[in-house]
Amino acid sequence: MKKPSRTIPRNHLKLTWLGHSAFLMEAPSGKKVLIDPWLDNPRAPASAKEISGVNLILVTHGHSDHLGNAVQLAKSMNAAVVALFEVYLYLQAHGVTTAQGMNKGGTLAVDGISVTMVDAIHSSDIDDDGRLQPGGEAAGMVVRFENGFTVYHAGDTALFGDMRLIGRLYKPDLALLPIGGLYTMAPREAAKACELLNPKHIIGMHYGTFPFLTGTPAELKKHLPLRLRERVKELQPGQVVEL
């Protein structure tokens, strides 16, 4: 007699876009992961101020539009924070006792959630009350939840060929990719990233926050091959989707 499978279905993740590059992800277990928590961004929904019970905060790099409200949120919710080592030092110096530093290529297990730090092509200084301090380098994050659902948040980045390796090694179910242009990939480059990664779901970010971030999900679709276009999900800030 065949034993029933105990595998948790992979197609369960609740995701909320909070504007710019900020996302709240809730696993089937109820654990909440907040990434690049700039909750004061111009497109942040009012509900962003009501977020509570976050277990883990991830910061891809030190720029203020990604580091955002990490210090205040970590302290108020006693959430673990994972960031590149130099950003960790900043967090620690500002009283975040729950911070953990790591570096590219490393993997951390945090309360059953696996976090792997991967490359990104971008800068990463930290603006500390008008004084610039080193923030190491920018990174992307691969987050694997208990049910196996895997999210790749690219952070701020240009297109780079090793995204193909990220796709092969980690097989992301969801890719969160910047598409605004100027400071990151534009839709044309992001479309090529999608080809290299081959995710099941694609969501654009880091666009529309300011007038100069001109890329759009519609333009991303236009540059994608037909087989990938239907995988693009265009969200409104505050919208919750289940994947």
Q: Using H for helix, E for strand and C for coil, what is the string for 15-57?
A: EEECCCCCEEEECCCCCEEEECCCCCCCCCCHHHHHCCCCCEE
Q: What is the pLDDT of residues 66-93, one digit of tens each?
A: 999 999 999 999 999 999 999 999 999 9
DSSP E strands in the chain: the ranges are: 14-17, 23-26, 32-35, 56-59, 80-84, 99-102, 107-110, 113-119, 126-128, 131-133, 139-144, 150-153, 174-178, 201-205, 240-242
Is residue 42's pLDDT more than 80?
Answer: yes
The whole-number pLDDT of residue 11 equals 63
The CA-CA-CA angle for residues 136, 138, 68, to 5°, reads 95
Q: Kindly report the average pLDDT of the chain as a whole number.
A: 95
Q: Does residue 113 contact residue 103 with C-beta atoms inside 8 Å? A: no
Question: What are the boundaries of each domain within the chain?
Answer: 14-232
pLDDT at 217 over 70: yes
Q: Is the pLDDT of residue 8 over 70?
A: no
From 3.20.20.70, 3.40.50.620, 3.10.580.10, 3.60.15.10, which CATH number describes the 14-232 domain? 3.60.15.10
CA–CA separation, 192 and 195 (whole Å):
5
DSSP 8-state secondary structure symbol assigned to residue 172? -
Give the position of tokens 């970010």: 205
Backbone conformation region of residue 195, classed left if phi is above 0, alpha if psi is from -120 to 50, else beta: alpha
CA distance 108 to 68: 22
Q: 38: burial class by Cβ within 10 Å (0-12, 13-18, 19+)?
A: buried
Query: Could you say which DSSP state residue 109 is in?
Result: E
Q: What's residue 12's pLDDT?
A: 84
Nearest Cα neighbor of 134 from 85, 70, 184 is 85
How open is the CA angle 143-148-152, to the nearest 5 degrees?
30
Asked if 28 contacts 38 with a C-beta cutoff of 8 angstroms, the reply is: no
Alpha carbon distance 37, 115 (integer Å): 17
- Condensed to tens digits (0 to 9), the pLDDT of residues 114-165 reads 999 999 999 999 999 889 999 999 999 999 999 999 999 999 999 999 999 9
Say which residues have a Cβ less than 8 Å from residue 34's Cβ, sequence separation at least 6: 22, 23, 24, 25, 51, 54, 56, 57, 58, 73, 79
